[in-house]
Amino acid sequence: MGVGPNDDDYIGYVLSDVARLMRTVFDRRVRELGLTRGQWLVLTRLTRRPGASQTELADMLELDRASAGRMIDRMELGGWLERRPDPVDRRIKRLHLTPHARGVHASLWKVAEATVDDALAPLSGKERRAFERMAAAVKRRLQVLTGDDGASSGGEPRARGAAAS
């Protein structure tokens, strides 16, 4: 008989545990840099989508606008990002990383890569490439099932029906 939902090896539990444990390892490694995982995600999303609006960033981070706004305020005060007016609609503020934040992001990216490398160390190179392909295929399928077009991970912007400011 196959693995059931009450088994620790059930794929849903395994995937959830892998994601949680990778976040925990990464958080421990970057804690001394004074950034939270949420702030790291802001750096990563704005590196991939410079000039995103506050609402677009909130959508990418899966946060409500108020929570995203508070985080953006703190990061702006800390010198991590700046708000610039949208050239077409002055009511919209576009978010851009400061040079300091871009440098820190480059350093943190190395920590993220090391975390992934450590997590996947038990796999051979061939197994890792196969795992990455399979995980990407599952992600694409889930994006289809949820109607997620990639914007939550910093991909292309959502259709104009989504919030844009």
Residue 161 confidence class, pLDDT cut points 50, 70, 90: very low
Residue 33 confidence class, pLDDT cut points 50, 70, 90: confident
| Residue type at 154 in one-letter notation | G
**Which pLDDT value is given to residue 107?**
86
Q: Is the dihedral of CA 123, 126, 130, 133 positive or negative?
A: positive
Q: Whose CA is closest to 119, among 40, 7, 41, 29?
A: 29
pLDDT, one tens digit per residue, over 103-142 is: 989 888 899 999 999 999 999 999 999 999 999 999 999 9
Q: Which fold has domain 11-153?
A: Arc Repressor Mutant, subunit A (1.10.10)
CB atoms within 10 A of CB 48: 12
pLDDT, one tens digit per residue, over 42-84 is: 999 999 999 999 999 999 999 999 999 999 999 999 999 999 9
Predicted TM-score of the model (pTM)? 0.69
Residue 2 confidence class, pLDDT cut points 50, 70, 90: low
Q: Whose CA is closest to 139, among 23, 52, 41, 15?
A: 15
| Residue type at 151 in one-letter notation | A
